[in-house]
């Protein structure tokens, strides 16, 4: 069996070197797969994707994903679609390694593969549509926590899962930045919440009980952040424990207005979905290829391409002063 896996790897590599010939202006079918359907964040991404597909007219968009944050469900969905041979598959990956064989299989069948929101292994896709650099997000989160809780604050992290690629990268860079910029800030624990609001609430409550001296909690997924905020609110810790994280304005609006949360950090997920569709079309048209420095993406204008990443831009901050202006 080992020789078979080696052969398949060579086949996938050969495909990457000899991708399908670009066909500018050709109508394309795009399968866009979120980590999970039905939550505010990915609903906003879908809204942007549909907007871009309508503008481009030549893109048939299928936005389909699992109802739980499961790499197995993602792989099953993609496997079912490989036989239908869409022109492009774009995936927000729940696990960068576990999804890779399925994505390589798609590429070996002549399907273009990109990732968005959360990456796969580099040899399992052509480009990654990145909402912001991992470094920018990590620094913004840690700087905001230092500002609110103090540079010597004992803090905890509630993440989605230990295999989620973006959360893992953010956390790695957060730890490195803390050690360099705020050496007295102490990370007490990291707990997964598996994209469950109820579990994020529970593990934050557990943190507040186990570490009564904690002064800050990071919620680094769109579900972990509101779950952590609700725990701090119900525990009567508002103003005593800072809650800093990544989520949508819609999910966090009440917590910002009542003072449980001061700042919500994110990018515009509507724009992320929009940029992903433009990236898929540019790839098929041949205007996005290795060595490209930028793409033109409709109302977003020129967006930087850095190596094999298409960058949306720096993270945004939502506060009491501006959060009501955003409806995602």
| Ordered per-residue pLDDT tens for the chain, 328 residues | 434 443 444 444 444 444 566 667 789 999 999 999 999 999 999 999 999 999 999 999 999 999 998 999 999 999 999 999 999 999 999 999 999 999 999 999 999 999 999 999 999 999 999 999 999 999 999 999 999 999 999 999 999 999 888 899 999 999 999 999 999 999 999 999 998 999 999 999 999 999 999 999 999 999 999 999 999 999 999 999 999 999 999 999 999 999 999 999 999 999 999 999 999 999 999 999 999 999 999 999 999 999 999 999 999 999 999 999 998 9
CATH superfamily membership of 134-266: Response regulator (3.40.50.2300)
CA distance 168 to 96: 10
CA distance 17 to 163: 28
Phi, psi of 86, rounded to the nearest 5 degrees: -65, 160
Closest Cα to residue 8, out of 175, 151, 124, 131? 124
Summary mean pLDDT of the chain: 93
CA distance 265 to 252: 10
Give how far the C-alpha of residue 105 lies from the chain's centroid of Cα atoms, to the nearest Å. 23
Single pTM value for the model? 0.84
Q: Do domains 22-130+268-313 and 134-266 have the same CATH topology?
A: yes
CATH number corresponding to 22-130+268-313:
3.40.50.2300
- In the three-class reduction of DSSP (H, G, I as helix; E, B as strand; rest coil), residue 149 is classed as helix
Phi, psi of 202, rounded to the nearest 5 degrees: -65, -50
Within 8 A by CB and 6+ apart from 213, the residues are: 154
Closest Cα to residue 137, out of 111, 159, 106? 159
Render pLDDT for 282-322 as a digit per residue (tens, 0 to 9): 999 999 999 999 999 999 999 999 999 999 999 999 999 99
Within 8 A by CB and 6+ apart from 211, the residues are: 154, 156, 188, 189
Sheet hosting strand 264-266, strand order edge to edge: 186-192, 154-159, 216-219, 242-246, 264-266, 316-318
CA distance 172 to 161: 14
CA distance 193 to 223: 8
What are the domain boundaries of the chain? 22-130+268-313, 134-266
């Amino acid at each position: 069996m080992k020789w078979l896996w080696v052969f398949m790897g060579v086949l996938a590599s050969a495909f990457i070197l000899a991708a399908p010939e670009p066909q500018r202006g050709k109508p394309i079918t795009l399968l866009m797969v979120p980590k999970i359907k039905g939550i505010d964040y990915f609903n906003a991404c879908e809204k942007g994707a549909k907007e871009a597909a309508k503008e481009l007219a030549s893109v048939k968009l299928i936005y389909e994903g699992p109802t739980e944050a499961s790499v197995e469900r993602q792989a099953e969905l993609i496997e079912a679609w490989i036989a239908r041979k869409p022109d492009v598959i774009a995936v927000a990956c729940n696990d960068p390694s576990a999804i890779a064989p399925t994505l390589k299989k798609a590429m070996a069948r002549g399907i273009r593969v990109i990732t968005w929101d959360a990456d796969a292994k580099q040899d399992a896709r052509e480009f990654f549509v990145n909402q912001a650099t991992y470094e920018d997000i990590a620094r913004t989160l840690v700087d905001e926590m230092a500002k609110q809780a103090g540079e010597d604050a004992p803090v905890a992290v509630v993440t989605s899962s230990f295999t989620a690629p973006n959360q893992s990268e953010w956390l790695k860079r957060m730890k490195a930045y803390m050690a360099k910029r705020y050496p007295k800030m102490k990370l007490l624990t990291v707990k997964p919440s598996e994209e469950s609001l109820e579990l994020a609430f529970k593990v934050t409550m557990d943190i507040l009980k186990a570490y009564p001296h904690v002064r800050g909690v990071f919620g680094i997924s769109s579900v972990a952040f509101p779950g952590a905020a609700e725990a701090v609110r119900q525990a009567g810790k508002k103003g005593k424990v800072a809650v800093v994280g990544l989520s949508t304005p819609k999910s966090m609006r009440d917590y910002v207005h009542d003072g449980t949360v001061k700042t919500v950090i994110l990018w515009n997920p509507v724009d992320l979905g929009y940029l992903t569709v433009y990236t898929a079309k540019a790839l098929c048209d041949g205007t996005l290829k290795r060595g490209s420095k930028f793409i033109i993406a409709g109302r977003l204008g020129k967006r930087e391409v850095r190596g094999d990443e298409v960058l949306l831009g720096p993270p945004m901050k939502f506060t009491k002063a501006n959060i009501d202006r955003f409806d995602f």
